[in-house]
Structure 1
Amino acid sequence: MEPLHGMNGREMVLKTVHFQSPKGLAMTLPKEYRYDFYGWGPNPSPDARCKKGVDEWGAVWDNIGTTSLGEVKQFPLLDWEDFPKLKIPDVREERRWKGIEEVREKAGDKFLCGSGFSIYERLHFIRSLENTWIDIYENPEKLCELMDILVDMNLYAIEMYGKYGFDGLMFCDDWGLQDSLMISPKHWRELWKPRYQRIFEAAHKAGLVTILHSCGYIVDILDDLIEAGLDVIQMDQQMNMGLDLLSRRFRGRITFYCPVDIQAVMAFGNESTIRAYCREMVSKLGTPTGGFIAGYYSSPQSVGHTPEAIRAMCEEFMAIDREIREGIFQYV
């Protein structure tokens, strides 16, 4: 692990996100390289995604593959008539937050990031994806009532994270297909945007950086997410949208938190292609004052990433970090 030359991980991430000219490249790479984040969340989390079994909402999960990801096979709320009987986890239970008062000290000089709760994916884990899409047109009031329960869970988590000295809030909502948004941007703006805004505004008031993981083609809502208060977009795919487009429209307005594209480049590119993509991505999505965090995909075997590909990516990100510190890295 290389030293940060006078700037610790927490400072590196905060200066990156706030475009305050960090002395290097913020990153979350495997432990033999460098990891500037320290993550923590309630245990058990009401947003836990099981590999197999029944979650707190009553959804039945199963897994027949080789990954750690399960999928819902039985949905707990297929009929809105059963809404009053839905099992709603109590996010305020003390057992979930046991040890939170010790986390800041454990995190040391790393960026301490708390886990939030999905407000889209959890809906279709409860209702099914098909029913969720139908609800947008036929039952928007009920859908929003359920969504607001999830928003309120996030607001309580934000309260706890702010109280105990956390630096950021992160949660996951995959919104994109390969070449389009899953739903119309119009409905997204009507139903989801104001709720993201509530979460992000509360997070900012608590002193937290806002981070959202979302994969797929999400260009159509990135402006809206920025307007709603999103600080960092964590995306594992970029090529389906194009680095040039992302750079032209969003560079300098939001921080990109990315590995090399996990589907197009890491899975099929050779080492020289991967290294070149690292440089192109940082130079086009980052700026001399910040705006880019390097990452890696934490389940590489499930998407066909070889050890050689991972090493090439990590070594190149580390080389870029050195060049930024020395003032010789070239941005476009």
Structure 2
Amino acid sequence: MTSRELVKRTLEFSNKTRRAPRQIWFLPWAEKRFPAEVKSLREDFPADIVTAPSVFATPPLNKGDPYEIGDSTDAWGAVFTNAQRGVIGEVKHPLVAPGDDGWDDTSRVHFPVEWLTFDRDAVNRFCASTDKFVMGDCCPRPFEQLQFLRGSPELYMDLVTRPAGLSAFLEKMHAFYCDLLERWAKTDVDGLMMMDDWGSQQNLLINPRLWEEIFKPLYRDYIAIARGRGKKIFMHSDGMNLAIYPHLVELGLDAINSQIFCIGLDRLAPFRGKISFWGEIDRQQMLPHGTPAGIDAAVRRVRDTLWAGGGCIAQCEFGPGARPENVRQVFQSWEDIAREA
């Protein structure tokens, strides 16, 4: 069975094997500190999910390296200041000024129309060259991008007061993201992705009613675009975001990457067989402070609680603080489970 077939069957809860598809996320922090261990992990646990490369006719306007100390600029024009090598920094001076409560001046925001110029033929050639499950190289993130452009405290207030300027800007942003997804959905990729970190450690970052009114319709459109072209659709969202799970299931999301140990496996058990859990293993406590034996027990709890003829992808993030031996144990445990009778 190819990786492409394995991932699709896992997402459709028809995986008759015991093997979960694999994917490790390597942050530059890990690649810079543990190059030998990263190389070994890639060789010993090859990914079943890969991302198609983007070749742009018109290059995006990004400047600098967002993972290096100093300033960098994203494709929208937001400037990030980074104080720690290997992770992404923060926006200190939003493009929509703190005093602009009506969103009257968005002239400094650049919509990255360059993303629309990606080479579709190059993407299709890549898809034809591999038997891996291929993800498109695009990722709508409306809530987070609004924060990068406005600043989080100001945006939270805007979502309550709902100025007309914000609504008009969000409508334009959503149309752009839909156009981008439509173009990628017309390629030969197997899946598309979106993301927004919605949870704090204990609750949703905004009132669930506001989430349902403002953002759920956006995700509905993104998911519909993917499904309309026969693509699988994935989402990443950190924090305690249990409140949005029922909505994402209702909308037809195939897989979610979330902090399942922050939420609690028992709380997620009712969603077994309804949505696929795209990882992970606790990167707040277990990966930096745990032991291989504890990691093995955690993986087995995930498998016992959430596997339903599929529905689990062996994924974790090798990021700040994580111990290489613990990341290795995540994937070794999934391999061991696959071999057990």
TM above 0.5, yes or no, is yes
Paired residue secondary structure (2:47): coil
The correspondence for 2:249, drawn from 201, 204, 226, is 226
- Shift of the 17–47 alpha-carbon distance from structure 1 to 2, 3 Å rule, reads farther
Q: CA deviation at 1:172?
A: 2.1
The correspondence for 1:244, drawn from 266, 270, 277, is 266
Contact 2:3–2:133, Cα closer than 8 Å, also in 1: yes
Q: List aligned pairs for 1:37-52, cutoff 5 A.
A: 37-40=49-52, 42=54, 50-51=66-67, 52=71
Match status 1:74 vs 2:93: yes
Corresponding position of 2:332: 315
- Shift of the 92–40 alpha-carbon distance from structure 1 to 2, 3 Å rule, reads same
Match status 1:259 vs 2:256: no
Deviations 1:112-157 (A, max 9, x none): 1012221110010011111110111112543333233332233223
- Shift of the 53–186 alpha-carbon distance from structure 1 to 2, 3 Å rule, reads same
Q: List aligned pairs for 1:151-300, cutoff 5 A.
A: 151-235=174-258, 237-247=259-269, 249-287=270-308, 289-299=309-319
Q: Distance in 1 between matches of 2:226 and 2:91?
A: 30
Corresponding position of 1:25: 20
- Shift of the 181–46 alpha-carbon distance from structure 1 to 2, 3 Å rule, reads farther
Q: CA deviation at 1:189?
A: 0.2
Q: CA deviation at 1:228?
A: 2.0
Deviations 1:190-235 (A, max 9, x none): 0000110011011100111110100100001110111122110012
Deviations 1:85-127 (A, max 9, x none): 5322215642576833422124x11111012221110010011
Paired residue secondary structure (1:88): coil
Q: CA deviation at 1:63?
A: 0.7
- Shift of the 185–177 alpha-carbon distance from structure 1 to 2, 3 Å rule, reads same
Please, what TM-score do these two structures have when normalized by structure 2?
0.84
Q: CA deviation at 1:285?
A: 1.2
Match status 1:133 vs 2:156: yes
- Where relative contact order (Cα < 8 A, 6+ residues apart) is larger, the structure is 2
- Shift of the 322–276 alpha-carbon distance from structure 1 to 2, 3 Å rule, reads same
- Shift of the 81–141 alpha-carbon distance from structure 1 to 2, 3 Å rule, reads closer
Contact 1:91–1:153, Cα closer than 8 Å, also in 2: no
Paired residue secondary structure (1:74): coil
- Shift of the 309–181 alpha-carbon distance from structure 1 to 2, 3 Å rule, reads same
Q: Residue type of the partner of 2:284?
A: Q
Corresponding position of 1:3: none
Contact 1:50–1:70, Cα closer than 8 Å, also in 2: yes
Q: Distance in 2 between matches of 1:55 and 1:82?
A: 19
Paired residue secondary structure (1:293): strand
- Shift of the 142–320 alpha-carbon distance from structure 1 to 2, 3 Å rule, reads farther
Q: Distance in 1 between matches of 2:264 and 2:84?
A: 31
Contact 1:117–1:150, Cα closer than 8 Å, also in 2: no
- Shift of the 190–41 alpha-carbon distance from structure 1 to 2, 3 Å rule, reads farther
Consecutive unaligned residues in structure 1, runs of 5 or more: 1-6
Q: Distance in 2 between matches of 1:216 and 1:125?
A: 18
Paired residue secondary structure (1:151): helix
Report the count of equivalent residues.
311
Deviations 1:28-78 (A, max 9, x none): 144221210111364556899934322232211111113231221221112
Q: CA deviation at 1:252?
A: 0.9
Contact 2:257–2:279, Cα closer than 8 Å, also in 1: yes
Q: Distance in 2 between matches of 1:46 and 1:149?
A: 19
- Shift of the 20–95 alpha-carbon distance from structure 1 to 2, 3 Å rule, reads closer
Q: CA deviation at 1:160?
A: 2.4
Please, what TM-score do these two structures have when normalized by structure 1?
0.87
Deviates more, 1:276-285 or 1:152-161: 152-161
- Shift of the 109–95 alpha-carbon distance from structure 1 to 2, 3 Å rule, reads closer
Q: List aligned pairs for 1:94-109, cutoff 5 A.
A: 94=117, 99-106=122-129, 108-109=130-131
Corresponding position of 1:14: 8
Contact 1:57–1:76, Cα closer than 8 Å, also in 2: no
Corresponding position of 1:116: 139
Contact 1:144–1:191, Cα closer than 8 Å, also in 2: no
Q: CA deviation at 1:318?
A: 1.2
* CA RMSD in angstroms, aligned pairs only: 2.2
Deviates more, 1:55-64 or 1:211-220: 55-64
Q: Distance in 2 between matches of 1:134 and 1:280?
A: 40
Contact 1:171–1:213, Cα closer than 8 Å, also in 2: yes
Contact 2:62–2:77, Cα closer than 8 Å, also in 1: no
Give me the identity figure in percent: 30
